[in-house]
Structures are given as structure tokens and as C-alpha cells.
Amino acid sequence: MEKKFPEYKSLDLSQVNKDILKTWEENKTFEMSLKTREGHPSFVFYEGPPSANGMPGIHHVMARTIKDVICRYKTLQGFYVERKAGWDTHGLPVELGVEKKLGITKEAIGKSISVADYNKECREDVMKFTREWEELTQKMGYWVDMHNPYITYDNRYIETLWFLLQKLYNKGFLYKGYTIQPYSPAAGTGLSTHELNQPGCYRDVKDTTCVAQFKIVRNEVSEKLFKETDAVHFIAWTTTPWTLPSNTALAVGPAIHYLVVKTYNPYTFNPVTVVLAKDRFNAFFNPKAAEIPLEDYQPGEKLIPYKITGEFKGSELEGIRYEQLLPWMRPEGDAFRVITGDYVSTEDGTGIVHIAPTFGADDDRVAKIAGIAPMLLIDKEGNKQPMVDKRGRFYLLEEIDPDFLKTNVNQTLYQEYAGRFVKNAYDPNLTEEDATLDVDLAVMLKKENKAFKVEKHVHSYPHCWRTDKPVLYYPLDSWFIRTTAVKERMLELNRTINWKPASTGEGRFGKWLENLVDWNLSRSRYWGTPLPIWVSEDGSEQKCIGSVKELIAEID
């Protein structure tokens, strides 16, 4: 019998869409496309699931159209293409949305609201726009099985992750590490490098920068620097003056040449002798002032005279000690000496790097190699902590262990800055228009003849992808997947992929693989897949569980 199709007298795309969708539904066209391909070779499709705690947008239509076209094309080629929908129900976006709805912060969880009640709110909130997503899927003709979706909070899904995590653990690819990691004070959790590499996370900001003067201890090791002067200072540049109280070392490049220069401090007009990289000399001294006798200088004159009195390689400066810049607290261990690092450059700054091991991954690495102690306090619970807490705020005196406070903290100096947030974005009572801690510290250093140059500087700084607030680099306990163990294999496989455009595979994704670090898997949150790892109180025994059955057996 001849098949007849409806004839349209005018083009009404909306009506055509409705008619086609109705025909597909009546004839179960999607289901039949799967049934007719049963037993054929499979083309595996993983649906990257959306989160139903937000409304779908036009960008979702674009992505789903591309996926739909490819799956239909592979079906036409004879493949069996199973398409299972999914819901992404865990993660930071869900938790932050619930916190906003409840008017709480992470610190309130377990206090004003129980963890169980908080997770219940997350479970309900994450599925609130399910109907809108299902309507969009149906109206755009996206062929995917919405009746049997996988849901990431479902225990069966979580158990699958446990199985995979146990496989990684048994192969030595899952480990716990205490490292300096990107951390979002606003979200209350560490972030992975993948999260930081999302578009828009790095943005240009204008911050107060400071070139600080570190007074060298005069002894037989440093005597070679004290030609024609009684005091010599290393000068080091930082874009984060708030880290200066945590300074415990200075790093120089072993092959870099450094100059000793007699001059005047531009703020106090006091005579000063400074050490900086030869390649950075012109960034701080005007050649026009070279012929001006030092003794002719008048305070306030723009041209400040100078005289070079010595030149040394960085390797010759190693081991020289200096006085603590801001003696608020005393570290427990060796500190305040010059170390060498191959990563020190002369592209900016002074060629001398201020090292605060608690707030920088490179700082932490070179300090450990050189045996330099980090600046750590002991809190009232007896735990060693950086001077800044996880909210991005200097510890209050009453939050510090009394014995440690008495023996290691100069309470008079510290008190003025206790409780200050290191960035205004973390303080609910401040705006970007208010004076920052960086500014206040720079002003104080100027007055104390400890700042050689203070200025505003535009630089790229990472921000949390969900809170839109600045990230800190902070020491954290986290669980990692040892992705670096298979880095070369991933690079090899990436070269076999036919990327469109090719620049994506060679550029952004390829560069990310080349600079791969181990994946920070864990989060300091509540609504997510629990890591199935049990550790004895003394830390001597670990057990990674791979299933619910195994968990019950271990409990029994």
C-alpha cells in the first residue's frame, strides 16, 4: 500500500516539529532504532550528565544536537548505539546552591544543621528542574533513554565508583598526600588543576605588590657583601604581601649574576645597600643617576644616585642568613637563609624570590629540599596550621595554643593583624573599594624602612569556578590519583585523536597533558561519593573497600 505523507500548504516549523515528534512517539522510532541494531557491533556513547538543580539553556541544545547527530550517524552505519541519560547530582554547585538557599556557610554544617539534614536538602534541590530538562529533551528530539537514567547519588552508582577506586588503590594509583593545593576559602574545599583550567578561571587583577628589604646578618659567610657599608639587604618582590609574615627563606638562581648596589631608600631617604639580579638592575635604577655622587643626594629628589660595589653568582650567596622581616612568630626549625632554585628567573621582580612554604607549591618543594622550616602555629586543638586559616583569615590570638602563643608569638606585633582577611573578597564586611591587608602591610613596611618599592601591578590570578572569588594555595590533606604515572601514554594516545580543530588537541588539551599533575580527587565537603578508605587511628593500617558486600563483611 502506498504511504502518504501530509502536505504542508505553508511553512510552520513549530507545527512540523510537533508532527514529527508525534510520529516518532507513536511508532517508537527511537526504541526501534535500537532494536534493529541488537547484536551488531557497539558504538559506546557516554552521556555527560547535566545537573538538574539549574534550568537548561540554549548552550545545552547546541551540545546535545552535536551528540545526537553523531549517535544517529553511527546507527545508520550499522552500530548498536545505546544512549542512557544521566543526572549529575553531586558536587560543589549543588552544595553552594543549597547553602545560599538556607542562608548558611559550610561552617554551619554539623552545628546549626545536621549533615543528614543538609544532605537531604541537597538530594531534593538537585532534582528540582528534572521536568524542564525532560521537556527540553523531548521537544528538541534528542534521542536518549530518559526512563532509566543513571543517577550519581544512587547507591548502585556509588558502589561502581568504589569498585573502580579499589582497583586504582590496589595498583598504587590512589594515595593520600599533604601538599600545597589550590583552595577556595569561599567554597571551603580544594580544587583540582582541571577546575582551575576552565575558561575564565584565570583573570587579570590589579594588586598591590611590594619589593621588601631583608637585612643580611653580617658574619664570615656574608662579609664579602659588606664593602663600603655597615648594612646590606636582599630585596625580593611579591604580588602577595600578605604572605611576607610567613617568609622563612629567600631563593636565588645559582647561575644568575647579582649586584651589590649602594643607594637610598625612595620612601625614608635613608642610605641603603641592596642585592638584586644584574639582569633586573635597569628596572630599579635610572642610568641618568649613575653620574650623581651619592653624597649630593637630597631627600625627595626623583633621580636617586647609586654605586655598584660588587658582583656575585647566586651560588656564592647560598647559605647567607638574614633577619626575619616581620617577627610576628618564630618557626620551629631552620629558617631565614638563602637557598638556590632552578626555577628562579629574571623575567620580573628582582631575581630573588621570597619563600613562604605554606602558601606556594614551588616554595614548599625547594624549602623541603633545603631543610627550611615552614611558618606553622599550633591551634587550640593541638594541630599545626599555617598563620592563615581556611577562611583566608589570620588566626586570632585566642585560637592559638596558649603555650605556643607564650613561647613563639610576639603578641604585640601580631595583635594588630590578627583576624584580618588576606583578601577583601573573603571578608563579608569589606568591598573591593576598602583598603586591603596588602596595602596596610606595604604602608607599614615603608614606615619601617623595609620596603624598596611598592606599586600596583596587573597580573593573572586564579579564581574559584563556582564562587567567582580568588583562590589560595594552601597546605591540605587530600587523596590523589597518580595520573602522572600514565602521562606519557596519554600524550601518545592524544596524538592519535583526530581533533577538530587540530589546535585544540595540540594546544589547550595537549598543553594540559604536558603539564599534568596528579589529580586531586577528594573534596572537603559533605554531599558526594564517600571515599571508601578506612585508616586506623595510628595511621599504620589502611583498607579500601570495593563494594557494599565487602563493607558489611568487614563490619561483621
pLDDT for the residue numbered 96: 87
Residue 88: strand pairing partners: none
For residues 510 and 502, give the distance between their C-alpha atoms in angstroms, rounded to a whole number: 10
pLDDT for the residue numbered 290: 87
As a whole number, mean pLDDT of residues 186-194 equals 85
- Sign (positive/negative) of CA torsion 187, 189, 193, 194? negative
Cell 588543576 sits at which residue? 193
Give the closest residue to 158 by CA, choosing from 132, 119, 118, 187.
119
As a whole number, mean pLDDT of residues 426-433 equals 91
Model confidence at 9: pLDDT above 90: no
pLDDT for the residue numbered 1: 56
- CATH 1.20.1280 for domain 13-89+126-152, yes or no, is no
| HSE-CB for 215 with a 13 A CA cutoff | 15
Amino acid at 223: E
Model confidence at 2: pLDDT above 80: no
As a whole number, mean pLDDT of residues 516-532 equals 90
For residues 272 and 233, give the distance between their C-alpha atoms in angstroms, rounded to a whole number: 8
Model confidence at 45: pLDDT above 80: yes
pLDDT for the residue numbered 212: 98
Residues 291-340: pLDDT tens digits?
899 999 999 898 999 999 999 999 999 999 999 999 999 999 999 999 99
Within its chain, how far is the Cα of 454 from the centroid? 26
pLDDT for the residue numbered 485: 94
Please state, for a pLDDT cut of 70, what percent of the chain lies above it: 99
Residue 184: strand pairing partners: 189
Amino acid at 47: E
143: left (phi over 0), alpha (psi -120 to 50) or beta: beta
For residues 377 and 408, give the distance between their C-alpha atoms in angstroms, rounded to a whole number: 8
Mapping DSSP to helix (H, G, I), strand (E, B) and coil, where does residue 410 land? coil
Confidence band of 91 (pLDDT split at 50, 70, 90): confident
Q: Helices H, strands E: what count in the chain?
A: 17, 19
Residues 397-412: pLDDT tens digits?
999 999 999 999 999 9
Q: What is the pTM (predicted TM-score) of this model?
A: 0.76
- As a whole number, the mean pLDDT across the chain is 93
Q: Which CATH superfamily is domain 202-376+432-462 in?
A: Valyl/Leucyl/Isoleucyl-tRNA synthetase, editing domain (3.90.740.10)
Residues 136-179: pLDDT tens digits?
999 999 999 999 999 999 999 999 999 999 999 999 999 988 88
pLDDT for the residue numbered 6: 72
Q: Quick one: DSSP state of residue 51?
A: P
pLDDT for the residue numbered 478: 87
Amino acid at 359: F
Q: What is the DSSP string of 122-144?
A: HHHHTTTTHHHHHHHHHHTT---
Cell 598563620 sits at which residue? 387
Residues 451-509: pLDDT tens digits?
999 999 999 999 998 899 999 999 988 899 999 999 999 999 999 999 989 999 999 89
Cell 638562581 sits at which residue? 253
Pick the more confident residue, 53 or 75: 75
Model confidence at 7: pLDDT above 80: no
Give the closest residue to 303 by CA, choosing from 313, 315, 293.
293
Model confidence at 4: pLDDT above 80: no
For residues 451 and 210, give the distance between their C-alpha atoms in angstroms, rounded to a whole number: 7
Pairing between strand 307-313 and 257-264?
antiparallel
| HSE-CB for 474 with a 13 A CA cutoff | 25
Contact 356, 422 (CB under 8 A): no
For residues 543 and 169, give the distance between their C-alpha atoms in angstroms, rounded to a whole number: 9
For residues 258 and 279, give the distance between their C-alpha atoms in angstroms, rounded to a whole number: 8
| HSE-CB for 521 with a 13 A CA cutoff | 19
Give the closest residue to 377 by CA, choosing from 246, 262, 288.
246
As a whole number, mean pLDDT of residues 353-381 equals 95
